[in-house]
């Protein structure tokens, strides 16, 4: 009985984390930006995470992934509810049952739980595959816009903004790339 309850809780927690946490795109500028300093000519910064979070195509992808996640969670929750009801009934009756009856009921609940766990894992894998595909499509669309912003700012070196601990962020290309992607995605863009 405890095994089934533990497996059920573990599977549901893991599924919830995978399904909800899948589209984690947003990140902000480094907190240490107040360190300032001179602009270093030719050295530029970019945050891909901020592009994914702020560009219209990133927001649309996040919305699609959230819907997938919400749908999967609803499906798993609907199938989980009767198993949880039966588990609670089993827990309430367990003291009155013989060890053999407890073992039999525990095995029956475990057998019902296994297909649900497999389905939750399938849904989680499908969401992760969709997330990877969406991220790649956004990265592919962003690459020419990044290259154009890089040339316009006369960059000679491009760093991930999220790796910078401080300094002058005047040569951050992120906002320009987001605007460029949004313009590209707009009708007539």
pLDDT tens, position by position, 29-41? 444 446 778 889 9
- Return the pLDDT at 188: 66
The pTM assigned to this predicted structure is 0.71
157-172 tens-digit pLDDT: 999 999 988 888 889 9
Residue 4 pLDDT more than 60?
no
Distances (CA, A) of 103 to 1, 8, 87, 90, 157: 8, 17, 13, 11, 65
Measured between alpha carbons, how far is 58 from 186 in angstroms, rounded to an integer? 14
pLDDT mean over 93-113: 93
The total number of residues written for the chain in this structure:
189
- Return the pLDDT at 165: 85
Residue 118 pLDDT more than 60?
yes
- Return the pLDDT at 30: 47
Q: Radius of gyration over alpha carbons of the chain, in Å?
A: 25
170-186 tens-digit pLDDT: 899 999 999 999 998 87
């Amino acid at each position: 009985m405890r095994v089934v309850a533990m497996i059920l809780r573990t599977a549901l927690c893991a599924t919830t984390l995978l399904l909800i946490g899948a589209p984690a795109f947003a990140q902000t500028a480094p907190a240490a930006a107040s360190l300032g300093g001179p602009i270093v000519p030719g050295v530029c910064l970019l945050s891909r995470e901020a592009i994914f979070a702020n560009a219209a195509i990133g927001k649309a992808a996040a919305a699609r992934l959230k819907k997938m996640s919400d749908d999967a969670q609803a499906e798993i929750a609907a199938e989980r509810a009767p198993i949880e009801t039966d588990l609670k009934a089993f827990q309430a009756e367990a003291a009155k049952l013989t060890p053999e009856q407890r073992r039999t009921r525990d095995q029956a609940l475990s057998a019902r739980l296994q297909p649900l766990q497999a389905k939750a894992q399938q849904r989680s894998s499908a969401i992760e595959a969709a997330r990877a595909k969406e991220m790649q499509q956004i990265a592919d669309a962003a690459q020419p816009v990044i290259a154009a912003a890089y040339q316009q700012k006369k960059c000679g070196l491009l760093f991930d903004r999220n790796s910078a601990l401080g300094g002058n962020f005047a040569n951050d290309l992120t906002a320009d790339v987001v605007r460029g992607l949004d313009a590209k995605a707009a009708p007539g863009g």
